[in-house]
Amino acid sequence: MKDASPATAPKTFYLKDYTPFGYDAESVHLTFRLAPETTRVISRIRFAPKPDAADRTFFLHGEELKLISAKIDGQAVTPELVEGGLKCEVPGAPFTWEAEVEINPAGNTALEGLYMSNRMYCTQCEAEGFRKITYYPDRPDVMSTFTVRIEGDEPVMLSNGNPMGQGEGWAEWHDPWPKPAYLFALVAGDLVNHPGSFTTKSGREVELNIWVRPGDEHKCAFGMEALKKSMKWDEDVYGLEYDLDLFNIVAVDDFNMGAMENKGLNIFNSSCVLASPETSTDANFERIEAIIAHEYFHNWTGNRITCRDWFQLCLKEGLTVFRDAQFTADMRSEPVKRIEDVIALRARQFPEDNGPLAHPPRPEQFQEINNFYTATVYEKGAEVIGMLKRLVGDENYYKALKLYFERHDGQACTIEDWLKVFEDATGRGLSQFKLWYSQAGTPRLKVSEDYADGTYTLTFEQSTPPTPGQPDKAPRVIPVAVGLLSPNGDEVRGTEVLELTEAKQSFTYQGLASKPVPSILREFSAPVILERETSNAERAFLLAHDTDPFNRWEAGNALAKEVRVAMVLDGAAPDAAYLDALEKLVRDDDQDPAFRALVLTPPSQSDIAQTLFDRGHTPDPQKIYDAAETFTQTLAQQLETSLPRLYAATTVDGPYAPDAEGAGKRALNGRILSLLTRLDGGEQAARQYQAADNMTQQYAALGALLKAENGEAQSQAFFKQWQDDRLVMDKWFALQIACAAPEKTAATAAALTRHPLFSMKNPNRFRAVFGALAGHHAGFHHASGEGYQLLADNLIALDKLNPQTTARMCAAFQTWKRYDAGRQSLIRAQLTRIAGTDGLSRDTTEMVTRILDA
Ligand code: 0A1
Ligand code: ZN
């Protein structure tokens, strides 16, 4: 019998422990002999000891590798195999390391390293997947040039950089740009390409390709246009040009994340690149355009300048998200993009920042870095850059960026390097600003006002609640964009950025004829929670008159929340003045349809729950759901006579095009249809379903019908029509759950896991079902606890196959401390059950432990 081995506590890595690797990797040669279960990887790496290295330990990472042989300068050696890699005695002068290993791509369901997806070989190396391909110093500060030979019988065999040659059964690639191993990529399989080309501003001809499985060719055109627009935009706005002769994108069906910026060979989750009017919604098109841009922009912010270590992840991600948001704003609508981003920030980042998983944009410790590809690192990381830009001004921002690229091209950098560039370019000290990178938690900003004799004073008090490991926080620099309106609706002071640096600070405005109405935090100038005692009448005034479109929407959003909170707490009827304001806005054809659609979009029920919790109440998910239903029903009735006209007026005629204008109109049309369905039971929706020639309208109609519990026939028809299209089937799975009544949500999800097309191995399908379950606030948190149990059962099962996706989805439980004792104990029981599972992955262990520690 085997001794029970003591459970090894997962190792924690700390930012403060950073030490450079003792060797430079001067060049890397890799040969892949492809075979589904027994791929051989032969590496030949030239290493040179660093003259000034403090630590000369020769440790190479390696996981799940079968070592066949190792040599140094041609002589066989026997390295010591240790936890997570190997160690070896090496010469004190430059030497050549060679190793042959065997790996099993077909058995790789974790989708990290080299794996197979639909008979195609592909790789995912960020963050630490390369160590599952061969022994290597798998850390981003080790940068080298890669030459790759692929041997196999796949028709198409790709790697990074430029092609060097190919023949029967082989292909060779060389990437001249030194890069960390996380940017390595290899793809091989039966693929077809959608070609394109781009001429850079200095005249370099770049060949572009989107590679897909045969049958998906018709879904590439939009992605190709998005890529060309991105290349042009980065030249125009940042002066950044592409640096290879070839840029390849590959679509794969099984992928843990959205996409990956591998040098010259981006790999995309097929859901983030394939698009056609018949199969993709307007929201899909917008997201695809943004992700293509995001990965392309990484070529400079991430690849040419990379991260010294993974604690610096937001250096590349925050900046690249910020850049892709600028791009989308330029391509589409600036205010609409800003509103969408703030909605997403509040839905994904605020719960993280205000719960057990809170961490700073630059974390100081981790057990599993994959658990830190978070909304805080990405989206809050981008918000921090937005604040920096606002504080230094546009001109200084671009001056600093220019210096960043000049000074750090080819380097692996830190947040200190980044901020130093701004200090040097602008002469402004940023030591207090840096707190945004090291402090977790969302600051609360309390505002009070005073008016006497023409002088108006705004007083701000900032504080940030405790977060794990950070009980106290110092005041931060907070840029607050403020404008003042006179009671008749005129703007009496245009937008001005007030810079808060202290815990409490006042600003005065002189010479005002009457007490103004302030419009605070315009454009959402800082990721904070504004706490201000104000009336619904003032909110309605701002919704009607503010010159800042973001704050106009924000006033409506705050009103919507207040009205629902009152309905939940006091059983109040929907506020009549708010209903009137909404009606007026919806019927005002001079207003942008996209904006009207956003104002009509109800605040998320999870957001209402958080608001109630913040005000000292225990949120009841069912009551929040009921209030939302009552509100929508009342609004539909109030609008009854105008709905048919509005529906007709917002129906887009002519052939479908995924542009912002059409999308805005269809978004409004979709909202009108859902209101209409409440009154006609689905007559109009059924007609729209029948007539739809694009997925946006087909999907909106099906959603409205399912919500009315009158869509069985259409759901079956939808299945029949689209059963061979994986991406559309993901929508079908998700929509049935999203539209189910709370008491039926878990059972609907459970039934779908028994559907023949459900698969644990495809992250998109798993997320379609369980993302929809977790996203249905009242359904997931139904008092029966069935939702919790179903998710836990499936997380336990998925962890054996795919720890990374399992761990991410544990976040569904992160808000558990908001709810009543009964729900808390149900959730605690499930979290404890997950934590106690034998052989639970490091990824999931870390997440569940952090959530339980709340
Ligand atoms: N760097 C990619 C996202 C990405 C991150 C991690 C991955 O595997 C753990 C895969 C992709 C991006 O920002 O798009
Ligand atoms: Zn990224």
Is residue 119 within 8 A of residue 150, CB to CB? The reply is no
Nearest CA to ligand 1 atom 1: 260
Count of CB atoms situated within 10 Å of the CB of 739: 22
Q: Would the CB of 272 count as within 6 Å of ligand 1?
A: no
Q: Would the CB of 126 count as within 6 Å of ligand 1?
A: yes
Q: Would the CB of 259 count as within 6 Å of ligand 1?
A: yes
Assigned token pair, 359: 């961490």
Nearest CA to ligand 1 atom 8: 126
Is residue 97 within 8 A of residue 67, CB to CB? The reply is no
Ligand having the closest approach to the CA of 125: 1
Digit-coded pLDDT (tens) for 28-74: 999 999 999 999 999 999 999 999 999 999 999 999 999 999 999 99
In ligand 1, which atom is closest to the CA atom of 370?
9
Residue with tokens 């029509």: 721
Quick check: 490 pLDDT over 90?
yes
Residue with tokens 């005073």: 450
Q: Would the CB of 261 count as within 6 Å of ligand 1?
A: yes
Q: Would the CB of 526 count as within 6 Å of ligand 1?
A: no
Average pLDDT on 304-325 reads 99
Q: How far out from the chain centre does Cα 262 lie?
A: 18
Cα separations (Å) of 484 from 95, 457, 535, 800, 814? 68, 12, 17, 57, 39
Quick check: 768 pLDDT over 70?
yes
Count of CB atoms situated within 10 Å of the CB of 638: 18
Nearest CA to ligand 1 atom 5: 126
* Nearest residue to 808 via CA among 825, 791, 830: 791
Residue with tokens 């209409």: 676
Average pLDDT on 73-93 reads 98
Quick check: 1 pLDDT over 60?
no
Nearest CA to ligand 1 atom 3: 260
Ligand having the closest approach to the CA of 317: 2
Q: What was the pLDDT predicted at 4?
A: 41
Q: Ligand 1 centre and the CA of 20: distance in Å?
A: 24
Digit-coded pLDDT (tens) for 553-602: 999 999 999 999 999 999 999 999 999 999 999 999 999 999 999 999 99
Average pLDDT on 196-210 reads 98
- Output Rg (C-alpha) for the chain, integer angstroms: 28
Q: Would the CB of 317 count as within 6 Å of ligand 1?
A: yes
How far is 514 from 612, CA to CA, in rounded Å?
35
Q: Under the phi-then-psi rule, with left for phi > 0, alpha for psi from -120 to 50, and beta for the rest, what region is 487?
A: alpha
Instruction: Give the model's confidence band at 489: pLDDT under 50 very low, under 70 low, under 90 confident, else very high.
Output: very high
Average pLDDT on 97-121 reads 98
Kindly compute the dihedral angle of the four CA atoms of residues 750, 755, 760, 761, in this order, to the nearest 10 degrees. -160
Q: Are strands 478-485 and 517-520 parallel, antiparallel or unpaired?
A: antiparallel
Q: How far out from the chain centre does Cα 686 lie?
A: 34
Selected residue with higher pLDDT from 648 and 854: 648
Cα separations (Å) of 483 from 338, 398, 449, 817? 18, 26, 14, 37
Q: What was the pLDDT predicted at 854?
A: 81
What is the percent of the chain with per-residue pLDDT over 90, rounded to a whole number? 98
Q: What angle is formed at CA 159 by the lines to CA 158 and CA 165, rounded to 5 degrees?
A: 70
* Nearest residue to 581 via CA among 539, 643, 522: 539
Question: For the residues of 335-379, what is the DSSP string, one character each?
Answer: HHHHHHHHHHIIIIIHHHHTSTT---SS-SEES-GGGG-SHIIII
Q: Ligand 1 centre and the CA of 237: distance in Å?
A: 25
Instruction: Give the model's confidence band at 225: pLDDT under 50 very low, under 70 low, under 90 confident, else very high.
Output: very high
* Nearest residue to 306 via CA among 219, 377, 216, 411: 411
Is residue 260 within 8 A of residue 124, CB to CB? The reply is yes
Q: What was the pLDDT predicted at 6?
A: 43
Outline where DSSP puts E strands in 154-204. Answer: 156-159, 162-167, 170-179, 186-189, 192-199
Q: Ligand 1 centre and the CA of 314: distance in Å?
A: 12
Nearest CA to ligand 1 atom 12: 260
Q: Ligand 1 centre and the CA of 479: distance in Å?
A: 30
What is the percent of the chain with per-residue pLDDT over 70, rounded to a whole number? 99
Q: What was the pLDDT predicted at 9?
A: 73
Q: What was the pLDDT predicted at 7?
A: 52
- Which helix (H) or strand (E) segment holds residue 465: the answer is none
Cα separations (Å) of 11 from 126, 470, 528, 556, 844? 19, 21, 34, 48, 14
* Nearest residue to 527 via CA among 291, 371, 344: 344
Q: Ligand 1 centre and the CA of 580: distance in Å?
A: 45
How far is 320 from 314, CA to CA, in rounded Å?
9
* Nearest residue to 263 via CA among 139, 127, 162, 164: 162
How far is 556 from 551, CA to CA, in rounded Å?
8
Cα separations (Å) of 365 from 440, 473, 733? 13, 18, 37
Q: Would the CB of 183 count as within 6 Å of ligand 1?
A: no
- Return mean pLDDT, the chain: 97
Q: Would the CB of 257 count as within 6 Å of ligand 1?
A: yes
Digit-coded pLDDT (tens) for 413-422: 999 999 999 9
How far is 263 from 177, CA to CA, in rounded Å?
9
Digit-coded pLDDT (tens) for 115-153: 999 999 999 999 999 999 999 999 999 999 999 999 999
Q: Ligand 1 centre and the CA of 617: distance in Å?
A: 38
Count of CB atoms situated within 10 Å of the CB of 641: 7
Q: What angle is formed at CA 311 by the lines to CA 248 and CA 415, rounded to 5 degrees?
A: 90
Instruction: With both helix axes pointing from N to C terminus, report the angle between 643-650 and 660-680 in degrees, rounded to the nearest 10.
Output: 150
Q: Which residues are catalytic?
A: 295
Instruction: Give the model's confidence band at 5: pLDDT under 50 very low, under 70 low, under 90 confident, else very high.
Output: very low
Nearest CA to ligand 1 atom 2: 260
* Nearest residue to 172 via CA among 187, 191, 151: 151
